[in-house]
Amino acid sequence: MLHGISTSSTLVYLAAVLSLFVLPATAAPPRRRLPQIKLVQLERAFAGHCPNQTIGEVVSCGEALPYINDAIGRLFSLSRYGLKTRGQRAAYVSNMAYEGAYLKYNRNLVNPSQGTRSIMPAVSLKAFVDADSNVQLLWPTYPSLNESAIVDVLIENKADFLPGAWWTVAGPGCSDVAARLSKSEKSFVDWEKGCINGGPETIPARLAIYKTVYHSIR
């Protein structure tokens, strides 16, 4: 994981240096942006399940959207991940919808140290924190931290939408299957088995949501 991060930061650095030579001196640096999900698209993607109000752990689609778009676009900010394809964005949004009953729950009902917006159990949240040096700043004691309370710290700091986006493309075993995510059902099932591994009995429900989300966003 650490090796992967340092390789990609080297590539980012090389790309930045190369761009100095390729771009005309007067050109502003290119500002690439990933497509942002619009509220009407998220509402269509959630097919009538958007919570109407933010109360307790329930968050409305309108309030969640900036955090979802921020998580999707992190590749071009300080962190080094990003959901570059429509399939990757749909996989992230649909699994969050599945895990948290469409933004209704933020902590897993059975295991409260698992986040539903972050999509992950504590051990995977720890892998996320270890991979993201910006997020580590949330723990003054890092690398020492209370694993069962990671989800609480992420929620308090409004960082609970980030881990699921990271895992979608950068979690262990995820990058190859994430690269192939498309409108095909097989591509999603391959990704679910190789990356999320939420259990074979959950695949039909996850797939149904994925298809709706995929067709609703760009």
Ligand X SMILES: *[C@@H]1O[C@H](CO)[C@@H](O)[C@H](O)[C@H]1NC(C)=O
Return the residue of 21, 31, 52, 140 that touches ligand X, per CB under 6 A: 52
Neighbours of 164 (CB within 10 A): 27
**Looking at beta carbons only, is 70 or 152 nearer to ligand X?**
152
Show the tokens assigned to 47: 């097919």
**CA 112/CA 122 separation, integer angstroms:** 9
Return the residue of 60, 152, 153, 182 that touches ligand X, per CB under 6 A: 152
Question: What's the distance, CA 47 to chain centroid?
Answer: 20
Show the tokens assigned to 88: 């990757």
Report, in Å, the least distance between residue 45 CB and ligand X: 14
Interface stretch with ligand X, choices 13-21, 34-42, 64-72, 143-151 (CB under 6 A): 143-151
Report, in Å, the least distance between residue 166 CB and ligand X: 22
134 binds ligand X (CB under 6 A): no
148 binds ligand X (CB under 6 A): yes
Please name which of 85, 72, 168, 81 lies closest in space to residue 120, comparing C-alpha atoms: 168
Report, in Å, the least distance between residue 23 CB and ligand X: 48
Interface stretch with ligand X, choices 6-14, 146-154, 174-182, 208-216 (CB under 6 A): 146-154
**Looking at beta carbons only, is 47 or 203 nearer to ligand X?**
47
DSSP state, residue 28: P
C-beta separation of 30 from 7 below 8 A: no
Return the residue of 37, 51, 124, 168 that touches ligand X, per CB under 6 A: 51
Please name which of 136, 29, 132 lies closest in space to residue 79, comparing C-alpha atoms: 132
In 3-state terms, what secondary structure has residue 26? coil
Report, in Å, the least distance between residue 50 CB and ligand X: 6
Return the residue of 38, 44, 49, 86 that touches ligand X, per CB under 6 A: 49
6 binds ligand X (CB under 6 A): no
**CA 17/CA 12 separation, integer angstroms:** 9
146 binds ligand X (CB under 6 A): yes
Cross-strand bridge partners of residue 58: 55
**CA 161/CA 53 separation, integer angstroms:** 18
Q: Which residues bind ligand X (CB under 6 A)?
A: 49, 51-52, 146, 148-149, 152
